[in-house]
A and B are shown apart, each in its own frame.
Chain A
Amino acid sequence: MTKDFVYFDHAATTPTDKRVLKKMLPYFDADFANPSSLYLPALKAKKAVDGSRAQIAKFLNCKPSEIIFTAGGTESDNLAVLGTARSLKLKGERVKGHIITTQIEHPAVLNACRQLKKENFDVTYLPVDRDGIVKLDGLKKALRKDTVLVSIMYANNEIGTIQPIAEISKILAKRKILFHSDACQAAGYLPMDAKKLGVDLLTINGSKIYGPKGIGVLYIKKGVEIEPITFGGGQENGLRSGTENVPAIVGLAAAISLLRGKGKGESEKKLRDYIIQELLKIPNSKLNGHRTKRLPNNINISFEGVEGESLVLYLDKEKIYTSTGSACSSTSLDPSHVIMAITNDAERAHSSLRVTLGRSTTKKDADKLISATKKYVKKLREMSAVK
């Protein structure tokens, strides 16, 4: 089958790899049993869950008991942020409790922090520099005696910038502060050794790494105290009640096993640099985020005078699928908080185009994108009221 469209939205979600899908299928019908039951088919399902857990533990260089399965990145982030903060409060050690995160986090972390604010925690949202990188000095200054948790993403979902996670964990290691990182976007491309990263909690999910949707992992370092946010039958060490999503767990492990190997993201990186170079030839265009400290598959460019949703829809007509940080395409009607954080320029946020590449992206796809973008930027500028 030849594809009749070009998909440039891998940061939104990736297609499930056919090899992954094949591994998942038996667990929908033949091996459907609930892993908590006692008969033979149930044990088979349990074995599949345990085997997947061990495989993922190897990937993260941790113990299988340090991994729990959730319904996705959002749930893992929520559990990490809410679960640790509430646990410390329950102990009554630190009455107020202070959380540090960044202005460019995913809403799954930001809105969990907003919830904690309602529960009387203090929250600091660290600014980032113009390149979209957290300033370590700023972090050091923000630390307080009652800081209980720092949550900083590994790589940003909109502009792809990579945060210095290992350096941050060194700063925090000297104090008794938990460190969580959302690595959903990073998992497919960056080193994922939890020990080397020095994190206490780490989020990954299936839908960004050619695995299924609806499955996530939270790495919780041994000894970290955490309260559940769902209550029920006590699965996943009491931290995530609910019957295990066996096919998705198997699929996530299979997707992770396909990530190993050298040259991860090399082809994307080459195409990324080519596309950036070509699109920046369009006058009055600006790259959002650091030029090199970004994921190999991420491009985010603002074209002055061109509203992002309009450009996305013109490209959509050519079956080229991209996304934008413009308010017009969001349900909130606010422009991208990430581009606002790095530029403080709402027009630039409204004019942004995000292009995220994948394993299957070809030079031909890139050329198609480049020529269509040039064409429609020109067309939209001709009718634009912004000079």
Chain B
Amino acid sequence: MSKYDVKDIGGYEWIYSEKVQEHFYNPKNVMTDDLKEKDFDAVGEVGSPACGDLMKIWIKVDPKTKKITDLRWKTFGCASAIASTSVLSEMAIGKTINQAYKITPLQITKKLGGLPKRKIHCSVLGDQALRAAIDNYNKKILSAA
């Protein structure tokens, strides 16, 4: 696919980059049936199926270092939604929750080698789902204290 340099009439990227395709066809860190949701410390969700995108992110956090030791996700959405959540999972694992909280859609898009313009605002929601999961984690810690 990438051998065609396809742009829309405004000169913007139309097709998905190789990096997007890699993450879309072979998504990383998907939540699977053999993993138990209760083994995770927190969960965050954003979007709605009616809008065409729904993302859910589960995180495991080291209580001492506050580092994200595992992140799993599920997404209903188009190729860029799936790819952006997949790449986000790789970006977030190993970061502290404070560092991960600051990940922006722009950073995700850059990591993907760009996205078609029409896709950017609607499909990169993973950072919001991650922040929702971190908020959920902090709330749990607070209420446990």
Contact = CB atoms under 8 A, between A and B. Distances in A.
Does A pair with B? yes
A347 B79 contact: no
Contacts of A310: 24, 77-79, 82
Chain B's interface size range is: 20 to 34
A228 to B, nearest CB: 27
Most buried by B among A309, A314, A327: A309
Chain A's interface size range is: 20 to 34
Interface string B101-124: 000000000000000001100110
Interface string B35-69: 00000000001010111111110000000000000
A350 B32 contact: no
B30 interface: yes
Interface stretch (A18-26, A247-255, A286-294, A378-386): A378-386
B49 A386 contact: yes
B74 A385 contact: yes
A360 interface: no
Most buried by A among B56, B82, B122: B82
Interface string B70-93: 000111111111100000000000
A262 interface: no
A347 B32 CA distance: 23
B4 interface: no
Contacts of A350: 49-50, 52
A383 B82 contact: yes
Contact of B77 (A307, A331, A333): A307
A97 interface: no
A330 to B, nearest CB: 9
B122 A333 contact: yes
A346 B74 CA distance: 20
A117 to B, nearest CB: 26
A364 interface: no
A302 B120 CA distance: 25
Nearest to A332: B118
- A-B pairs with lowest CB-CB distance, top 6: A328-B78, A346-B50, A309-B78, A347-B49, A385-B74, A385-B56
14 contacts: A307-B52, A307-B76, A314-B25, A317-B25, A327-B52, A328-B79, A328-B122, A333-B118, A333-B122, A335-B52, A347-B49, A382-B30, A383-B30, A386-B76
